[in-house]
Homo-oligomer: A and B are copies of this chain.
Amino acid sequence: MLTQAAEDYLKSIYKLQEKGEKVSTGALAEYLDVKPASASGMIKKLKTMNLITYERSEGVTLTDAGSEIALEIIRHHRLLELYLNQALGVPWDGVHDEAEVLEHVISEEVEARMDAYLGYPTSDPHGSPIPDKNGVVQQTESIPMTELHSSQSCVVAEVSDDDSALLRHLGNFNLYPGTTFTVIDVAPFEGPFTIDIAGQEAVIGREVAKHIMVNNVKDT
């Protein structure tokens, strides 16, 4: 059995790798809020377990075995987020922290039952895809809201899950995945977006907009 820390490393490596970044010891340490030396030690350990490979130029790369575990943890996390939200009514800005600890201890049996209860869902409350039992991830193309222009409409696809203040803010505007909105105006010089959501007007700052991924963009 892997330790919780090791699982967190694999999950983080997967996420960084997904972004297309080369996963250096330092980048990994920063992501995990840990000193580079600690990351270095864990990298050595995961390497001996054949869960990652490491080369100075390439950085860390997950092996197939490593990917499998990373995806399993991510699946646990996202399924838990959705379950806590749907079954227990935990607000979407609170599910991440809860899932962060439960993901390491939940059994396959309980997970399977939550999965069935939820009807084998494919995305979590923040719009992130939930890998299936075989680790297959359903990818969707989306673009950051910052690339939108005036009078374009779109659907919220995904938002960051780890900043609860941001999530509460988005929740106030009903900016959940699946919600449709139209850009009324984009202020010049990198200014904020004014949008229309179900008849309601809202102003969304640039920094916030960066964290909102959208799709189904249409000119109106």
**Which A residues contact B (CB, under 8 angstroms)?**
84, 87-90, 94, 98, 101-102, 105-107, 109-110, 113-114, 117
Contact = CB atoms under 8 A, between A and B. Distances in A.
B98 A107 contact: yes
B98 A114 contact: no
A94 B113 contact: no
B102 A114 contact: no
Count of chain copies: 2
Contact of A117 (B88, B98, B102, B105): B88
B98 A113 contact: no
Contacts of A107: 98
B90 A87 contact: no
A115 to B, nearest CB: 10
Contact of A110 (B88, B106, B110): B88
Given A94-B109, A109-B94, A114 B88 contact: yes
Contacts of A90: 109-110, 113
A205 B84 CA distance: 42
B88 A113 contact: yes
Contacts of A84: 110
Central interface residue in A88, A94, A113, by most chain B CB within 10 Å: A88
Contact of A89 (B89, B102, B113): B113
Given A87-B87, A88-B113, 18 more contacts: A84-B110, A87-B117, A88-B110, A88-B114, A88-B117, A89-B113, A90-B109, A90-B110, A90-B113, A94-B109, A98-B107, A98-B109, A98-B110, A101-B105, A102-B102, A102-B105, A102-B106, A105-B105
